[in-house]
Amino acid sequence: MNTAWRAFPDHLRLSVRLTPNGGRDAIDGLEAASDGECYLKARVSAAPEKGKANKALIALLSKSLGIPKSTLAFVSGDTARKKILRIEGEPEDLIKRLGAVIDGG
C-alpha cells in the first residue's frame, strides 16, 4: 500500500478522508481507495457546518502528532470529505509521528 503522505523539503502533504458526525474524535488508520489513492481515515464528532469538522480535524491531528495547530493548513478539500493538508515541519520527524499514531491507534 502506498502512503497517505508526500514529503517535501520543509513539510508533508497528508491526504485525509474525514467522517464528520463520527461519534468521537479518532484516527482510524489508513485506507486505500478504489482509485489506488491512500488516505488517513479520521472521524470527528463535530458536524460539517461552518468549518467545525475541519477545526476538529486540525485539533485531532495537532493533539495526536504533538504539534502546534498553526503548523497544519488545508491545501484542498475544505468542503469535501477527502482533504489534503500541509503540515509544516521536518518530514522525517512528521512521518515517524504519523507512523506511531497509525500503528498505536
Q: How sure is the predictor about 104, in pLDDT bands with cuts at 50, 70 and 90? A: confident
Grid cell for residue 60: 485531532
Report the pLDDT value the prediction gives residue 105, as an integer from 0 to 100.
55
Q: Average per-residue pLDDT in the chain? A: 94
Quick one: which H or E segment has residue 97?
helix 91-104
**Helices 52-65 & 91-104, crossing angle to 10 degrees?**
100
Q: How many CB atoms lie within 10 A of CB 34?
A: 5
pTM of this structure: 0.94
pLDDT tens digits, one per residue of 20-58: 999 999 999 999 988 888 999 999 999 999 999 999 999
The amino acid at 97: R
Cell numbers for 9: 523539503
Collapse the DSSP code of 57 into the 3-class scheme (helix H, G, I; strand E, B; otherwise coil) and give the result: helix
At residue 39's C-alpha, the angle toward residues 58 and 43, to 5°, is 45
What pLDDT, on the 0 to 100 scale, is given for residue 15? 97
pLDDT digits (tens, 9 = 90+) for 70-103: 999 999 999 999 999 999 999 999 999 999 998 8
**pLDDT digits over 16-26, tens only?**
999 999 999 99
Domains along the chain with CATH numbers: 5-104 (3.30.1200.10)
